[in-house]
Chain A
Amino acid sequence: MNYFVRRAGTALATLFAVATLIFLTLHLVPGDPAEVLMTSGGMAPSREAIDALRISLGLDRPLWDQYLAYLARITSGDLGTSFQDHASISAEIIRRLPRTVELIVSAAVASVLIGMPAGILAALRRGSFWDGLLSSLASLGLSLPIFVTGTLMILVFSQTLRLVPAGGYADFTEDPLKHVVYLAMPAISISVGLIPVVFRMTRTSILEFLEREWVRTARAKGLTERSVLLRHVVRNSLSPVITVLGLHIGTLLGGTVLVEYVFNWPGLSGMLVQAVEQRDYPAVQGIVLVICILFVLINMGVDLLYGLLDPRVRAR
């Protein structure tokens, strides 16, 4: 209980710090939302028009006043409306977040399904041809930037082979098949960077656990090699893999920008970049807050998973 309260306290403090920091940073960066709104494409609005817009957006008020109003707003769960078209930020996040989460989760599932067996194989056949091949592939996957993978995939699969559309999005409820087709390339290009992470972590972790005394004990007491591996080695080696994967998923929440851009996937990261470019303060603040909350939640989730995997953590 005490542990939980402390964790929740830290989480709240983190959220408050992030909320304040993002507010200050946004207001410190040059670039006025009203000006941006009225000047795209090189147009010159009149001073009065800009001033009228600043007043209607509440940007004419003193900074501390805006800050207090902002804090009051977010603590009551209201993320406000967009400077661009007065659409509700929370509604837009609710629409877009699942798309980004879907991308990340599909990529994560693919990475576990491919990276883990490959990691186990490489560890058990350490130094073999397979180990060498898989490890080299992992290095390649890790070093390829996502825009290279993505652009190459578009070139090969949509422009040359014409198998899939170059990019875009279809709603699952309208056309499930098309939805999956659009999802495939961006999800795969994320997993190209994620599979090696899982692979390497699994391989290192298993190699480490294979050396432990209790593995020797398990073997000595006559357990089958299969049982030793599954119950004692693999299960124990999952913890570090999950930690790393959890951290990566958290980072990906705001970091699928390039993938979403290259494949025109209308997710949360794309919305964040656009909001920054347009100095849409409420949108940037809302998205960053939501990402921060999710990050905290994922970390708590990872802790819970440890407990399931390792009874010692539960007892503590």
Chain B
Amino acid sequence: MEVARAAAKGTLRFGLSSFPPSLNPFEYSGTAALTVKLVLYHSLLSYGADGLVRPELASDYKQVDSTTYEFNLREDAVFHDGSPVEAEDVKFSYESIGAQKSTAYLRQDFQIIDKIDVTGPKTLRLTLKQPNAVFSQVLASGYAPIVSRKSAASNFIGAGPYTLQGIDRGSAITVKAFPAYYRKDLPKLEVIRFVAMPDESLRMAALESGDIDIIEYVSTQNMGRLEQGASTHAASVDGPFMYLLFNTKEGPFTDVRLRRAVSYAIDRAAVSSFGFSGMGKPIDGLPVPTDPAYDPSLVKERLAYDPVKARALLKDAGVSNLTIQLLSTSQYAQHNDTAIVVQQNLAAVGINANMRLPDWASRVSLGNEGKYHLAVQGTSGAYNDPDAVTGYIGGGQPASYTRPFGYENAELDRFLDEGRREMDTARRAAIYAKVERLAIADVPIIPLIWRPQVWGVRNAVKGFAPLPGFLSFQSALKLEETELK
């Protein structure tokens, strides 16, 4: 099994924003956990530095017809216990994710798989129930890893570039280079030590004093300090986004005119400068990162700041002295600060917003139960494809704090469905233009700004760069190429 290869060397210390509550590769347990999981487990497909889907444990794959995909697995891929990665393992993993009682994050997405046929030890065919343009994106997700069929929950065996060496519960996780990893001369580091440091000032201090090599979740206020530091720099991408959502079932915002008024009342530049050091790029349409299937130039109407229009709309609706409940959380400064700006913007057009700023857990519950009129939220889509907006504005889904409460729009849903089934990129772009036009007119949510996702990196670290857009949370894929100079 031992292949002649350059020895991995050095220990990289990675400062996580929280300790991963669980390393179950199929379940969602936060972004810090995903970072660790991505070096232990790999999926059939993954993402390259450009954000495009690339084969990972598959050596290649092709789409035979609109619902059939064929995969060849890498000859050289082995699990951490030394056994080869085979088609049966893929079948086992996907069946575990899609199972009736599964708690896997992608359980719902995997229901689209009709049949998994193992056609040889290293080949398989997947048949879908209906065409799906984002199916390869689902398979590339960090939540769709391939684990050994000989392993079971809580000790799943993966085939990633690193193996688990030790867990100091609550404080650190250490991983070691896997010598039989399938990519030649990778990983470059011998050991990565993930240290949980919930306090951002401590992460900054540890980075600056050289105790830690990479830190995540740096706020925009600290970016300048990292750039000016003699031995540090900032690596940043526009990742998640901030938005407002309405309760469209109860209260004043069942009236679309009032939703439009709020939309015109919000000054995105103020949100960006107050909460994000002026680094939050305003969003004037759908929250979709750069993607071939999304072309904002197709839609003339854009979201804009126009308080005069906002007041006029309120007047038209015959509303004066409106008081609303604004929900956010004081636990995260970005949510808190956004809410403060929104409250002031609303006051300027004559809407009085009562703020409710509980801790995150309470905020989630209140959001899920629709106990708000207007709420502040920040999130990231599953992938950069415009289909990801289904998660925020699509109907027929359970109530969630990430979606406008009670919102359903049959026409919008039809377009979203059409976009998902369509394979041609240009035709998809035309469909999502219709989605965008509808979303701007009906305002179920008000997208605000792109939030820079920032890592602090010591200059001695080479080869680490975040992935673009919503994929930024999967940037740990780059850790196999990261080295210390």
- A-side residues, CB < 8 A to B, are 29-32, 35-49, 52-53, 84-87, 92, 95-96, 151, 154-155, 158-159, 162, 165-169, 171, 261-264, 266, 270-271, 274, 277-279
Contacts and interface: CB of A to CB of B under 8 A. Distances in A.
B251 interface: no
Nearest to A266: B171
Nearest to A166: B205
B366 A30 contact: yes
B158 to A, nearest CB: 18
B400 A44 contact: yes
B46 to A, nearest CB: 20
Interface stretch (B54-62, B82-90, B101-109, B269-277): B101-109
List of 7 A-B pairs having minimum Cβ-Cβ separation, nearest first: A31-B361, A42-B379, A47-B398, A166-B205, A44-B400, A84-B21, A266-B171
15 contacts: A31-B364, A39-B364, A39-B401, A42-B377, A49-B107, A92-B169, A151-B201, A158-B209, A167-B205, A262-B202, A263-B202, A264-B202, A271-B170, A274-B170, A277-B359
Interface string B385-409: 0000001000001111111000000
Contacts of B400: 44-45
A64 B305 CA distance: 53
A167 B197 contact: yes
Contacts of B2: none
Contact of B170 (A96, A155, A277, A279): A96
Nearest to A164: B209
Given A32-B365, A166-B211, A279-B361, A154 B169 contact: no
B13 to A, nearest CB: 10
Contacts of A48: 398
Nearest to A40: B30
A169 B170 CA distance: 11
Contacts of A85: 21-22
Interface residues of B, number: 54
A36 B401 CA distance: 11
B170 A266 contact: yes
Given A31-B362, A92-B170, A274-B170, 20 more contacts: A31-B361, A35-B365, A37-B29, A40-B29, A41-B31, A42-B378, A42-B380, A43-B379, A44-B400, A46-B108, A47-B398, A52-B101, A53-B103, A85-B21, A95-B169, A159-B208, A166-B211, A168-B206, A266-B168, A277-B361
A46 B398 contact: yes
A92 B361 CA distance: 23
A36 B201 CA distance: 25
B202 A166 contact: yes
Contacts of B201: 151, 154, 262
Contacts of B19: 274
A35 to B, nearest CB: 5
Given A31-B364, A40-B29, A158 B205 contact: yes
Interface in B306-365: 331, 358-362, 364-365
A263 B364 CA distance: 29
Given A31-B362, A31-B365, A264 B22 contact: no
B28 interface: yes
Contacts of B379: 41-43
A168 B168 CA distance: 12
Interface of B: 19, 21-22, 28-31, 101, 103, 105, 107-108, 154, 168-171, 195-199, 201-202, 205-206, 208-211, 240, 331, 358-362, 364-366, 368, 377-380, 391, 397-403, 473
Nearest to A267: B170
A158 B206 CA distance: 8
A22 B211 CA distance: 39
Contacts of A86: 154
Contacts of B473: 41
B33 to A, nearest CB: 9
B362 A30 contact: yes
Contacts of B28: 38, 40-41, 43, 45
Contacts of A42: 240, 377-380, 402
A208 B96 CA distance: 74
A278 B21 contact: yes
Nearest to A280: B21
B358 A154 contact: no
A279 B365 CA distance: 12
B398 A261 contact: no
Nearest to B201: A151
Contacts of A264: 171, 195-199, 202
A168 B199 CA distance: 12
Contacts of B103: 49, 52-53
B206 A167 contact: yes
Contacts of A96: 170
A36 B170 contact: no
Given A92-B169, A264-B202, A278-B21, A30 B358 contact: yes
Contacts of A171: 168
A46 B171 contact: no
Contacts of B171: 168-169, 264, 266
B240 A154 contact: no
A46 B169 contact: no
A36 B361 contact: yes
A30 B365 contact: yes
Contacts of B364: 31-32, 35-36, 39
Most chain B beta carbons < 10 A, residue from A31, A39, A52, A279: A39
Contacts of A39: 364, 401
Most chain A beta carbons < 10 A, residue from B154, B358, B361, B401: B361
B205 A154 contact: yes
Given A38-B28, A167-B205, A44 B365 contact: no
A154 B29 contact: no
Contacts of A53: 103
Contacts of A47: 398-399
B476 to A, nearest CB: 14
Contact of B368 (A35, A168, A270): A35
A95 B167 CA distance: 13
A274 B169 CA distance: 13
A165 B208 CA distance: 11
Contacts of B368: 35
A267 to B, nearest CB: 9
Contacts of B107: 46, 49
Most chain B beta carbons < 10 A, residue from A166, A168, A169, A262: A166
Nearest to B205: A166
A159 B209 contact: yes
Contacts of A49: 103, 107
B401 A261 contact: no
A147 to B, nearest CB: 9
A165 B209 contact: yes
Contacts of B202: 154, 166-167, 262-264
